[in-house]
Structures are given as C-alpha cells and as structure tokens.
C-alpha cells in the first residue's frame, strides 16, 4: 500500500482535483501539503459539481481522511465557509484533520497581498489576492501565526503585535488601512472552538498510517512551474508545489514515497503573469479557452492557453522524479486538423532542447513545433485506449515519448468515469 504524490506538472489547473478525487476514493488519507485557498479544484461527481479551494479533494470520499498539512496556509474564514457549504450539501466533513503547525492567513497578510501587487504596478505577479505570499513571507521571517497559537491567547496577541509592528509602517506608506491588533486577535479567537477538534500532529498520524500499511495520497496545490524554487521566479506562488514539498509540508520522509504522479493537460494554460513560450494570443487561443472552459475556479480570470510544451514536461518529470503522467482534457483537442507540439525552443537564434535555468533566456524562448495529424471524432465516451481514433492514439504515444515519462491515464471529460486507465496508480 503506497504513498503517492499527485501534483501539477505545468502552470496549474491541469485537472489535479479529478485525478486526486479518483485516487482518494481508494485512499485512507488525502493530504494537502502546500498553498492555500489560491487553489481551485473542480470535482464532478454524478450530477454534482464541487469547487474546492482550501479543502483537500479527499473530503468528498466518505472513507478517506482529508488532511491539511503543516506546509499549507489556512484562511480560517474560508475554511469554515467551505465546510458549511459542503455540510449543507450532505457531505460529511467531520473527518478533517489540520496540522497544529500550519500557518494562518491573517487580515494583514491578505491586505499586504493587494498593497504589494498595487505597488509593483506593471511588474505585478498577478496573484490570486488571497494573502498567500505575505503569509509565507511571515513564516520565513519567523513572524507567522500557527494553528497552535490559537490555543495560547496571550502568545497569540504578542505575535500579532510583533507582526503588525513590522507591517503597519509599510501598510501606512502604501496607502492601506491600519489594523488594530485587538480586532485581529478577537477575530482569530472566534474560531478556536471549531478548530480544536480538527487539530493534530499530522507527521505522527501519517507515519503511523503508513506503518499500518494504509494508502496516503499527497495532493499538490498549484504546480511545478509555479513552484517557489523550480518555477518561473518571480512569477510563481510562494510555496513548494514540487514533490519535495510533500515531504516538508507533511513530515513524511522521501524514503516513504512510492509514486510521483504528474498531471498534465494535453495542451497548456497559465493564469497570471510570467513567461509561457507556447502561448497563443489569437483565435487559436480563444478556441482552446472556449472548448476547454479555461476560466479560473478561484478568480474567474480567463486562462492563457497554448500548445503542449514537451521541454516543460521533461523538466517537470526531472525535478519531481515523476513516475507517471496523468494526461487530461484530451477531448478538448478534437476537431483540429493538425496539432502542434512544442519539442524544443529557439533562444537567441539557437535550438535549445530543455528549459533553460536562466529566467531571462526562458522569457525569450520561442517554440519549435512538430505537427501531428488531428482527429474530428468526439472521444468523450471512449473507455479504453483502443476506442480512441488512430490519430488520438498517435498523439498520446508521441507526447509520452517526447515527455520521457509513461502516461498512466487519459482524461476525456470532466466526470470521474470519463478516464481511460492504462495503469493503476495505487498498486
């Protein structure tokens, strides 16, 4: 019974929610290890559509324990809002566990997100505005608030005052509204009774679960190319979405991980600013956006769309030690005469096979395409690989070869059932 990490291998929104939900049905634990409510997962179960931001996808599987690890930043208001929504729709949410070491998004870190984006002007990151970056900044500056601080009110007050002492001059200078420490503390303390039953030592619980042979799925938020270290810095999120983040963000060591599954769309999207070599700015991009429903679950923003980028896939495979690819939304590509696949870049007149480690070079990268024949059939009802039209099969095989990692499942629609499984991800 394995420990499986499932993460995004492009710039987010690859369809991790559905893939995690499918694994979650068979797992004892689903653990969110990074990010916060900047994420947006859509999971379709039968007629019901669920949009989750902060909660792990495992919350929808009755036998699974959903866990928020220490690497996550928690907006308590959003947490209880999402729980109330699920409760009202008949989902049992009582199993949720939260690490006592997870950090708390505060009214002032949220405010700093907006003020800092504003101050950056045209150099802005295009954040989701949820306070994610400033909360991780407080964590690294040792000014953060953790879930456990809620149970020590005097300490909590001292910590809020310390953090505000750093921030208030900046808030004032950037034209923000000053916050009173007392109000912040009172607001945070109003959650104590409701949080208390969920709090636990996540590292201890997960390691015991693995000792007992249970299946643990680690769910990455955001994506490899948005990772703080390995993504397109500074146009990244402020946490480690890559496989290593699952270990630091939960307290489970790397020797215990059995599989690393990278989720990739059959094309690529990105929200927010930053380089994106295969981006399509004209009608082709428009076509992908409409066909793929590429509008953000969290912010409603139109996603930037482009063709499949094999150097990005290989890069992701490498930095994550990926064992499997889950290829999603293949059905969106039906109806194209030919499908471009980026196989390498042209940078300053030279052919470059891999993602360069220089951000400036990557920003100048132009895609070099191979063109594969398309197919016109609707593939959303295909249940096995052989059901796919010949050209769709060839596209998948080509993408697998050029990405240098095996494809273990193919998504052909939003529902749990619309998945062609080539290889079991839990075995």
Q: Is 402 in the site for ligand IMP (CB under 6 A)?
A: no
Q: Is 294 in the site for Mg ion (CB under 5 A)?
A: no
| Between 13 and 324, CB nearer to Mg ion | 13
Instruction: Using only the alpha carbons of the chain, give its radius of gyration.
Output: 21
SS3 content of the chain, % helix, strand, coil (to 5): 40, 20, 40
Using the structure block, give the residue that is written with the tokens 């060839």.
394
Rule CB under 6 A: which of 343-382 touch ligand IMP? Answer: none
Q: Which stretch binds ligand IMP (CB under 6 A): 230-238, 312-320, 336-344, 419-427?
A: 230-238
**Cα–Cα distance, 99 to 72 (Å, whole number):** 9
| Between 219 and 324, CB nearer to ligand IMP | 219
Q: Which stretch binds ligand IMP (CB under 6 A): 119-127, 256-264, 353-361, 362-370?
A: 119-127
Q: Binding marks (x or -) toward ligand IMP, 26..55, rule CB under 6 A?
A: ------------xxx---------------
Query: Sign of dihedral through CA atoms 70, 73, 76, 81?
Result: negative
What is the end-to-end Cα distance of the chain in Å, rounded?
A: 7
Smallest separation (angstroms) from ligand IMP to the CB of 373: 31
Count residues binding ligand IMP (CB under 6 A): 19
Dihedral pair phi/psi, residue 236, rounded to 5° = -140, 175
Q: Which stretch binds ligand IMP (CB under 6 A): 124-132, 150-158, 195-203, 327-335?
A: 124-132
Smallest separation (angstroms) from ligand IMP to the CB of 267: 15
| Between 13 and 294, CB nearer to Mg ion | 13
Q: Which stretch binds ligand IMP (CB under 6 A): 26-34, 121-129, 177-185, 357-365?
A: 121-129
Tokens representing 298 are 């969290």
Query: Sign of dihedral through CA atoms 16, 17, 23, 27?
Result: positive
130 binds, among ligand IMP, Mg ion, none (CB under 5 to 8 A by kind): ligand IMP
Smallest separation (angstroms) from ligand IMP to the CB of 328: 14
Q: Binding marks (x or -) toward Mg ion, 99..138, rule CB under 5 A?
A: ----------------------------------------
Whether the Cβ atoms of residue 32 and residue 219 lie closer than 8 Å to each other: yes
Dihedral pair phi/psi, residue 4, rounded to 5° = -120, 130
Short-list 331, 265, 357, 355, CA closest to 303: 265
| Between 296 and 389, CB nearer to ligand IMP | 296
Q: Which stretch binds Mg ion (CB under 5 A): 8-16, 90-98, 364-372, 386-394?
A: 8-16
How crowded is residue 123: how many other Cβ atoms within 10 Å of its Cβ?
A: 9
53 assigned to active site: no
Q: Is 277 in the site for ligand IMP (CB under 6 A)?
A: no
Short-list 45, 44, 72, CA closest to 56: 72
41 assigned to active site: yes
Tokens representing 160 are 């809020």
Dihedral pair phi/psi, residue 127, rounded to 5° = -70, 170
Smallest separation (angstroms) from ligand IMP to the CB of 272: 2
Q: Which of 21, 41, 149, 309 is catalytic?
A: 41
Q: Is 13 in the site for ligand IMP (CB under 6 A)?
A: yes
328 binds, among Mg ion, ligand IMP, none (CB under 5 to 8 A by kind): none
Residue 277: half-sphere exposure toward Cβ, Cα within 13 Å? 32
Q: What dihedral angle (degrees, nearest 10) is formed by the CA atoms of 247, 253, 259, 262?
A: 20
**Cα–Cα distance, 267 to 279 (Å, whole number):** 10
| Between 38 and 419, CB nearer to ligand IMP | 38
**Cα–Cα distance, 260 to 7 (Å, whole number):** 8
Q: Is 59 in the site for ligand IMP (CB under 6 A)?
A: no
Q: What does each C-alpha distance from 261 to 57, 254, 383 come to in angstroms? A: 16, 15, 21
Instruction: Return residues touching ligand IMP (CB under 6 A).
Output: 12-13, 38-40, 125-128, 130, 132-133, 222, 226, 235, 237-238, 271-272
Instruction: Return residues touching Mg ion (CB under 5 A).
Output: 13, 40
Which are the catalytic amino acids?
A: 13, 41
């Amino acid at each position: 019974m394995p420990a499986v990490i499932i993460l995004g291998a492009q710039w987010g929104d690859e369809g991790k929610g559905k893939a995690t939900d499918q694994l979650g049905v068979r797992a004892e634990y689903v653990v969110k290890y990074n990010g916060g409510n900047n994420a947006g997962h859509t999971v379709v179960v039968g007629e019901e559509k669920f949009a989750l931001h902060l909660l792990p996808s495992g919350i929808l599987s009755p036998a699974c324990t959903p866990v928020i690890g220490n690497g996550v930043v928690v907006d308590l208001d959003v947490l209880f809002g999402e729980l109330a929504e699920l409760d009202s729709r008949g989902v049992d949410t009582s199993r949720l566990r939260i690490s006592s070491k997870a950090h708390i998004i505060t009214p002032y870190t949220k405010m700093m997100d907006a003020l800092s984006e504003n101050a950056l002007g045209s150099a802005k990151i295009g954040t989701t505005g949820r306070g994610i970056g400033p909360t991780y900044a407080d964590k690294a500056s040792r000014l953060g608030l953790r879930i456990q601080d809620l149970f020590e009110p005097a300490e909590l007050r001292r910590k809020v005052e310390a953090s505000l002492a750093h921030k208030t001059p900046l808030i004032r200078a950037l034209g923000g509204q000053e916050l009173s420490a007392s109000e912040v503390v009172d607001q945070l303390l109003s959650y104590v009774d409701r949080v208390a039953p969920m709090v636990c030592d996540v590292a201890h619980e997960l390691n015991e679960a693995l000792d007992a042979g249970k299946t643990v799925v680690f769910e990455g938020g955001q994506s490899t190319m948005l990772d703080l270290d390995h993504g397109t810095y500074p146009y990244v999120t402020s946490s480690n979405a890559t496989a290593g983040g699952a270990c630091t963000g939960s307290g489970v060591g790397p020797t215990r991980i059995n599989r690393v599954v990278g989720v990739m769309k059959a094309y690529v999207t990105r929200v927010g600013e930053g380089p994106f070599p295969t981006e399509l700015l004209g009608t082709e991009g428009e076509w992908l956006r409409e066909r793929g429903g590429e509008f953000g679950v969290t912010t409603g923003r139109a996603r930037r769309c482009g063709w499949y980028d094999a150097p990005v896939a290989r890069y992701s495979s490498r930095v994550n030690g990926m064992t499997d690819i889950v290829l999603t939304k293949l059905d969106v590509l039906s109806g194209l005469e030919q499908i471009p696949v980026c196989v390498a870049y042209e940078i300053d007149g030279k052919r470059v096979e891999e993602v360069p480690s220089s951000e400036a070079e990557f920003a100048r990268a132009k895609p070099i395409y191979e063109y594969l024949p398309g197919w016109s059939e609707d593939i959303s009802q295909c249940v096995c690989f052989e059901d796919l039209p010949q050209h769709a099969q060839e596209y998948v095989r080509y993408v697998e070869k050029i990405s240098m990692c095996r494809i273990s499942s193919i998504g052909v629609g939003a529902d749990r059932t619309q998945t062609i499984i080539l290889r079991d991800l839990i075995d």
